[in-house]
Every structure is written in C-alpha cells, then in structure tokens.
Amino acid sequence: MPLQCPQNHKHKLQEARITMIKLLAKIGRFNTVVVITIIASAASAAVATGAILILNQYGLAIRLHIAIPLAAAVALVVAPPISWVLVGMMLRIYRIEEKMRNIASYDSLTGLLSRHAFFESANRSISLANRHRAAFAVLIIDLDHFKSINDRFGHPAGDAVLRLFADVVNSVARRSDIVGRLGGEEFAMLLPSTNTSEALDFCQRLHGAIGKAVLKYQNSVIRYTVSIGLTASSIGSLDSIENLLAHADLALYQAKRDGRNQTAVFNYATEKVVAS
C-alpha cells in the first residue's frame, strides 16, 4: 500500500517551491541561467574527470587535458538554451499562480481581503496571539441603510460607497490590522494587541472618519454611516474567528436596534452585550 504524504509535509514542500521561485525571480532570468550554466559546466567536468580516471585504470589512455575541457564546453553549449526555457516556464507559471492567489485572496471591488482569506489570516493571528497571551479585538461592520443607497442612486453609486469605505478603513487601520469583506455591505476586522477600550477608541475614529468622507457622485452628495459590533477576546482564549464574529454579530444587532451609527460591545466573559 503506497504511503501518503501528510498534509503539513505537502504544505512545506509547496512553500519551499514558492520560496525557490521567488528567489529565481529576484535573481533574474539571465543571472539564473548563468549560475545554472556554471554549475552544469563544473559538474560535467567533475563527472568527466571521475569517469576518465576509472576508464584509464582499465588500460584506456584518455587524455584529461582534452576530455575535461570538451565536457565543460558541451555543458556551456547545451545548458544555456535549456535552462533559459525551463526558468522562463517556471517564472511564467509562478506569475500565473500569484495572479490566481491574488484573485482568490482579495475582493475585486474594494481590494480588501476576501471572506475566505480573512478567515484564514484572522485564525493565524489568533493562534499567534494565544501563544503570546496577547489580547485582540474583533469587529463586524455593516453599512447602515445600504439598500436605500442602491435604490436611490443606483448600484454603481453603491459600489462607489463600498470602495470609499474601504479607503477610509485603510486610512484608519494599522498595518497589523486585518480587514476583510464578508459579503455585500458587511465587513470584518481583527485588531491585534488591542483591548476593549482601545478597540472602542478605534471604532470612534472610524465613525469620525466616515462622517468626514462624503462621496460626490455625479450631481449628488452621498453620506452614509456604519454600525459596529465589537468583542475583545480574553487572554488565552482558544475561540476561532467564526465564534468571535458570532459574538460580535450579536453586538451589531444591538447597535442597529439602538439606532445605528454606533458601536455596541459584546462582553466575552458574561456573554452579553454590555455597552453601546
């Protein structure tokens, strides 16, 4: 029965392959071919030397000073065109794969992480936070009355609002913050090394930035607000991003019931919405 390669081993092999191709791309196609040619020529000369020494022991009188340069010269002629084609193919495949990964990882409208990519990145960040016993916060953000914007101004205007919102979030967020579009007008964020008080400060800055970011669309001025559900993890919690978003979603519904354009907080310890 054939042995199956473990999933983590396959993942490591894939990472090693990508790392190697990234290195080739950084070195450049021409320089890579030069390096391969030098290695091939040296290897050919070494193999030829060993083979000739063995054959000469059996009575053959092969001259090293002729055979070795000849073997190296063959490698110098053969290696460049073959390696040029192979390296080019590898780099083209890598660029195609990179483009496909970007398509899968980023929302085409807003440029934020896609739902799947957000969940993956957030869970990695949560695992890291748990190892270091660091706090973090999770937000779920919903644009208020977004359907009315589409109905009144049209879907292109709604798309423009979503793009503007993404720009505003990126202007307020830190480099370490993870932002993704869950679907429609619903977004999520994970704020590493952030407690409840700090997360609330962030939400207030976001509300303020959104209030200042007015969209001028054709002959209209479009304003919008957001409701936010917030939960901050307890240190060492093993919850997944899915469970944390479910808690934040409860707070989001409370923020909407209380009139929208505000942030509500789900208390992780009491499992209740405690502040709005």
Residue-wise pLDDT tens digits, 169-209: 999 999 999 999 999 999 999 999 999 999 999 999 999 99
For the entire predicted model, the pTM comes to 0.68
Among the options 15, 97, 98, 185, which is catalytic? 185
Amino acid at position 264, single letter: A
Q: Tokens 């929302």 belong to which residue?
A: 107
Which domains does the chain possess?
7-104 (no CATH), 115-275 (3.30.70.270)
The question of whether 185 is a catalytic residue gets the answer yes
Q: In sequence order, which residues have a C-beta less than 8 Å from that of residue 196 and are 6 or more positions away? A: 137, 230, 232, 265
- Please name which of 85, 125, 140, 70 lies closest in space to residue 239, comparing C-alpha atoms: 125
What is residue 11's predicted lDDT score, i.e. its pLDDT? 61
- Please name which of 37, 13, 40, 33 lies closest in space to residue 91, comparing C-alpha atoms: 33
Phi, psi of 257 (to 5 degrees): -65, -30
Burial of residue 253 (number of CB atoms within 10 Å: 0-12, 13-18, 19+):
middle
Structure tokens at 169: 């979030």
What is residue 5's predicted lDDT score, i.e. its pLDDT? 47
> Where are the strands (E) in 195-261, listed by range?
215-217, 220-222, 226-232
Amino acid at position 104, single letter: A
User: What averages of pLDDT result for each successive group of 10 residues across the chain (276 residues)?
Assistant: 51 72 80 86 82 74 72 82 84 74 81 93 90 91 95 94 96 96 96 93 96 90 95 73 92 94 84 69
Structure tokens at 152: 């009144």
